[in-house]
């Protein structure tokens, strides 16, 4: 009960700070500069006081610190904007520019700067705790590696071989579900099963889809813990032994692995690698500090087998892994991440393949968060889950981001050169924050040196914008109930 009260108090604080930020930003913009600096310093002292005398945990402290960092940035318009306006003649265009600056800044602060200002120091602090802590020697429950497969003759042999190389000390089995393949997948798997007693193969008479294949795998699994993976993914030899210690905590139901792109061979795959590293090393890692990982990847996720049997995968969305993760959270289980448990996968090497993949991913997540609208509040405490709120905000602000870039020529025509002066300063500022955040995410990956990818971050910003345009299109398709058609698991699916 005491822990629940503490959690509720901290969650309310998280949510309250978010709105306090908006109010303080408006107040600061109206105060004289030196007065606002004194108020800012007082807030810093108040935050440290709350942390050390009210026993806030690190996530709440770093939320508070992030808010303060964000408020600090509200001083910039007070310094820079008057300098712009002094150099310009007064007119309708410049009055419009002044209003545009304020509107842009108040969108930028809570939705872009605040999340990064919170997540980066939180990730740094929590990783330090992990490095200093001694890992527990876990028990050795039996583990089932589950691979649903459809027409995977090119990859399945290597996938099985990597599964057999696991250094896990406990009992391990490999369960392959052939979902009605029409190529030689079953023959290859069956041949492996005759040579290795740990390998078991089951075949669907016809293609039923990945959710059905996963459910068959969980039914056939004899392990206490099941780890489901894509059949075109290759597991590092220590993946199982890295993931299992998390289940020493009886509240943990699911653990997400770390997905790394194996075919980093051209510009497009390198840009995807940056995306994977930042999303997992920063965003998902921070979510795991609260046991609130939103999406566990289909390429490497561990789950208690009894949970997977009680909560079967469904095909009501086209991202069954996201839907499954939300359902597990709804049942009251905590969801963690192990960033050292590596699963390697091949990413799309051209734009057509990438767009096909991202159409399914992005639209499937829209379906998922719409179905699970309840998730904006933690089930056990009825307080806001800021990670889900942030996901919703990302979708809601998508049109703003899309049109803000497309409107640059229009604003230049209406306002003139002064708009470009304004845009140059704030673009450099936003770009610097963006580059630093993603560089830090890349740097956290220690298995291979990936820091050279940081040189591609200016191009990556363009890549992210193009995906944002795709997301905008998918939002419209969802709102008007047109839906999309995707080819997934051997079937053409009309997702609405």
408 HSE (CA, 13 A, CB side): 10
Predicted local distance difference test score (pLDDT) of residue 106: 64
Secondary structure in 3-state letters for the chain: CHHHHHHHHHHHHHHHHHHHHHHHHHHHHHCCHHHHHHHHHHHHHHHHHHHHHCCCCHHHHHHHHHHHHHHHHCHHHHHHHHHHHHCCCCCHHHHHHHHHHHHHHHHHHHHHHHHHHHHHHHHHHHHHHHHHCCCCCCCCCCEEEEEEECCCCCCHHHHHHHHHCCCCCCCEEEEEEECCCCCCHHHHHHHHHHHCCCEEEEECCCCCCHHHHHHHHHHHCCCCEEEECCCCEEECCCHHHHHHHHHHCCCEEEEEEEEEECCCCCHHHHHHHHHHHHHHHHHHHHHHCCCECCCCCCCCEEEEHHHHHHCCCCCCCCCHHHHHHHHHHHCCCEEEEEEEEEEEECCCCCHHHHHHHHHHHHHHHHHHHHHCHHHHECCCCCCECHHHHHHHHHHHCHHHHHHHHHCHHHHHHHHCHHHHHHHHHHHHHHHHHHHHHHHHHHHCCCCCCCHHHHHHHHHHHHHHHHHHHHHHHHHHHHHCCCCEEEEECCEEEEEC
Of the candidates 367, 286, 385, which has an alpha carbon nearest to the alpha carbon of residue 323? 367
Structure tokens at 381: 């405490």
Per residue of the chain (496 residues), give pLDDT as tens.
Answer: 444 454 455 555 555 555 555 555 555 555 554 445 545 555 555 555 554 444 445 555 555 555 656 555 655 666 666 666 565 555 445 555 566 666 666 666 667 766 776 677 777 777 766 655 555 555 689 999 999 999 999 999 999 999 999 999 999 999 999 999 999 999 999 999 999 999 999 999 999 999 999 999 999 999 999 999 999 899 999 999 999 999 999 999 999 999 999 999 999 999 999 999 999 999 999 899 888 899 999 999 999 999 999 999 999 999 999 999 999 999 999 999 999 999 999 999 999 999 999 999 999 999 999 999 888 877 666 667 778 888 888 888 888 888 888 888 887 787 777 777 777 777 887 888 889 889 999 999 988 889 999 999 999 999 999 999 999 999 999 999 999 999 888 888 999 9
Q: How far apart are CA 398 and CA 390, in angstroms?
A: 12
What does the pLDDT read at residue 65?
58
Rounded to an integer, what is the distance from CA 173 to the centroid of its chain?
A: 30
- CA 77/CA 426 separation, integer angstroms: 10
Rounded Cα gap, residues 149 and 230, in angstroms? 7
pTM summary value: 0.85
pLDDT for the residue numbered 42: 54
């Amino acid at each position: 009960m005491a822990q629940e009260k503490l959690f509720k108090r901290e969650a309310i604080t998280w949510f309250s700070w978010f709105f306090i930020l908006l109010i303080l930003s408006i107040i600061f913009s109206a105060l004289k500069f030196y007065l606002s600096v004194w108020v800012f310093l007082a807030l810093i002292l108040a935050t440290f006081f709350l942390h050390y005398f009210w026993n806030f945990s690190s996530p709440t402290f770093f939320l508070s610190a992030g808010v303060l960092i964000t408020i600090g940035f509200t001083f910039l318009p007070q310094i820079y904007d008057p300098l712009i306006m002094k150099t310009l003649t007064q007119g309708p265009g410049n009055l419009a520019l002044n209003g545009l600056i304020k509107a842009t800044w108040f969108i930028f602060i809570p939705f872009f700067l605040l999340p990064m200002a919170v997540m980066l120091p939180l990730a740094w602090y929590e990783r330090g705790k992990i490095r200093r802590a001694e890992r527990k020697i876990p028990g050795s429950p039996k583990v089932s590696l589950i691979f649903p497969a459809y027409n995977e003759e090119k990859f399945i042999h290597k996938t099985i071989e990597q599964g057999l190389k696991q250094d896990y000390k406990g009992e391990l089995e490999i369960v392959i579900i052939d979902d009605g393949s029409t190529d030689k997948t079953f023959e290859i798997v069956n041949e492996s099963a005759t040579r290795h007693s740990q390998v078991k193969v089951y075949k669907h008479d016809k293609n039923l889809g990945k959710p059905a294949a996963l459910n068959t795998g969980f039914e056939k699994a004899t392990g206490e813990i099941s780890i489901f993976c894509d059949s075109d993914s290759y597991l590092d030899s220590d993946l199982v032994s890295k993931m299992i210690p998390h289940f020493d905590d009886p509240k943990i139901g699911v653990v997400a692995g770390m997905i790394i792109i194996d075919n980093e061979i051209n510009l497009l795959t390198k840009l995807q690698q940056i995306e994977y590293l930042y999303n997992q090393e920063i965003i998902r890692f921070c979510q795991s500090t609260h046991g609130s990982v939103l999406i566990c990847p289909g390429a490497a996720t561990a789950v208690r087998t009894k949970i997977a049997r009680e909560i079967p995968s469904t095909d009501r969305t086209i991202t069954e892994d996201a839907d499954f993760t939300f359902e597990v959270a709804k049942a009251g289980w905590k969801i963690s991440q192990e960033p050292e448990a590596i699963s390697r996968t091949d990413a799309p090497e051209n734009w057509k393949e990438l767009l096909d993949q991202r159409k399914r991913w992005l639209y499937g997540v829209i379906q998922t968060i719409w179905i699970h609208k309840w998730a904006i509040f933690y089930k056990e405490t009825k307080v806001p889950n800021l990670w889900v709120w942030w996901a919703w905000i990302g979708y809601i602000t998508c049109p703003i981001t899309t049109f803000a870039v497309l409107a640059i020529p229009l604003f230049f025509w209406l306002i003139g050169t002064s708009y470009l002066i304004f845009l140059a300063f704030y673009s450099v500022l936003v770009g610097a924050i963006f580059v630093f955040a993603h560089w830090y995410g890349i740097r956290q990956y220690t298995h291979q040196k990936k820091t050279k990818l940081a040189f591609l971050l200016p191009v990556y910003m363009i890549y992210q914008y193009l995906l944002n345009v795709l997301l905008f299109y998918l939002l419209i398709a969802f709102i008007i109930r047109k839906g999309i058609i995707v080819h997934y698991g051997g079937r053409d699916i009309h997702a609405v």
